[in-house]
Structure 1
Amino acid sequence: MNAVPHPTIALLQTSSLTSVVQQEIERAILQGEYAPGAKLVEANIAERLGVSRGPVREAFRMLEEAGLVRTEKNRGVFVRDIPIEEAVEIFDLRAAMDELVGRKLAEAITPAQLKEIKALVDAMEKAVKAEDARGYHLLNLKFHDRLVEMAGNSKLTAIYRKLIKELSLFRRLNLADGWLLPISAGEHRQIIKAIASGDPDAAGRAMFDHVMDSKERTIANHLKRSEAQAKKGRRAASQ
């Protein structure tokens, strides 16, 4: 006869499974496998991952708290489609956070840390030459995440990561335009130079300006997509 697990062990097993399921759904959302507005069907995901529906349901709750999905009564769970107004607010908040990070790193970054972020920018420049937008996007995320982590403020890091997850679909769309990749890579090279100079004002300004430039690109891309959709709608109506 199989022994019944102790309640605490059963809880830990369920909690661990829920975390794995949540991480897998989050990965799929952030990598574009589920588009903004897509419905997430509990039964389908449970079958695909080989788990019961309970951990999937709990994972949905965690993802809603993280701002990645929304639950609509009697309709189900959907990937959030963040409005442009909210994205702009996040960019403004991120710019202030990144300015603080730049200032702190200019004063305290170690030679080993500087070498690490230089290697990341070298890899980003190789991705530009290879026209590898997806690879560039992942390196871009890692570069900024490491800078925030190196600043040594765990609260700031946690808040930053939540904001970045919410912005990720917008950022993927920004970098989908190949001509933007070399511009973005150049901005990252300038950030490294400013941090390495040891000048807090220059480093803070470089990081602040990079985020604000990214915000302007996001707004421009949003307007471009909106105009294209409106034009397509007008053509369909006239046929």
Structure 2
Amino acid sequence: MTRKTAVKRKESMADRVYEALKDDIFEFRLIPGDKFSEGDVGTRLSASRTPVREALYRLQREGYVEVLFRSGWQVKPFDFQQVEELYDLRITLERAAMHKICALDEPPQALRTLTAIWNPDHPSERAVGSTVRALDESFHCDLVAAAGNREMTRIHREITDRLRIIRRLDFTRDDRVDATYKEHSEILAAIRAGEATVAADKLTQHIRTSQKAVREITMERIREAAEAHRGGRKIAPESA
């Protein structure tokens, strides 16, 4: 085996461990506060120490886990105060983007593309599951990018990445999917009409409603997982 092949294989294993652990956290098979060791992960995923450590450090940088002094690792507890602050910053950026877009001489191409996505001819044409989650994230990111400020776009993308673990839960209920289509359509209509303040206000209400929903769902999922743990029904995290 060449050195290049060995490095590539190691990177592939680290990616596999990373994706497996991240999925366990996102699906609440590992809940906030759960502790584990590198050896536990390595045994479960048939991985050596180096790729396991690389995956854990990557998750640590992204804010999902934290290392404990001489005690292994822990799924990082939710900091709801930090989440509130990230939502506040997100709203500030997206409101500013609404005003910038409405002030453009020509509507951006992204506006036409988003309008087509969020105004389907028939409800059966709506996206479902992970697809609607991805489309929702793109909706907000594409609008900010359409404002033309690269630094605003970069910071907004970082906030989006940090909020993804809870925002994804907003689409586990049909009523939230219906509301998202309706509210996105109304926001786009206000932008097309050049009504920046109306668009910004509708956007703010939309985000706050989603924020409240995902917090409630998150707390519910954590309670359910914690009860399963205490009842001896803890589901072993799935391997990659």
TM-score by length of 1: 0.69
The alpha-carbon deviation at position 186 of structure 1 amounts to 0.8
Q: Which residue of 2 aligns with 1:116?
A: 113
- Give the aligned partner of residue 143 of structure 1: 139
Q: Does 1:184 align with 2:180?
A: yes
The alignment of Structure 1 onto Structure 2 pairs a total of residues equal to 221
The residue type equivalent to 1:118 in the other structure is: T
Q: What per-residue deviation string (whole Å, max 9, x for no partner) do you get for residues 179-212 of structure 1? A: 2221121111111112212232222222222212
Unpaired runs of at least 5, structure 1? none
Consecutive unaligned residues of structure 2, counting only runs of 5 or more, are 232-240
- Counterpart for residue 238 of structure 2: none
Change (3 A) 1:56 1:221: closer
Give CA-to-partner distance per residue, 1:70-121, whole Å, 9 cap, x none.
Answer: 2222333344342333322222221111111221222236352222112332
Map 1:51-62; keep pairs closer than 5 Å. Answer: 53-62=49-58
CA RMSD of aligned residues (A): 4.1
Deviation per residue, 1:118-166 (Å, 9 max, x gap): 233246x857867x34332222112222222222333333322232233
Q: 1:28 maps to which residue?
A: 23
What SS is found at the alignment partner of 1:67? coil
**1:214 pairs with one of 193, 210, 215:** 210
Task: Identify if the C-alpha distance between structure 1 residues 31 and 144 changes in structure 2 by more than 3 Å, giving closer, same or farther.
Answer: farther
Q: 1:23 to 1:59 in 2, by over 3 A?
A: closer
Say whether 1:172 aligns with 2:168.
yes
Q: Distance in 2 between matches of 1:129 and 1:202?
A: 25
**Aligned in 2, Cα 1:154/1:128: closer, same or farther, shift over 3 Å?**
same
Q: Determine helix, strand or coil for the equivalent of 2:174.
A: coil
More helix by share: 1
Percent identity over the alignment is 23
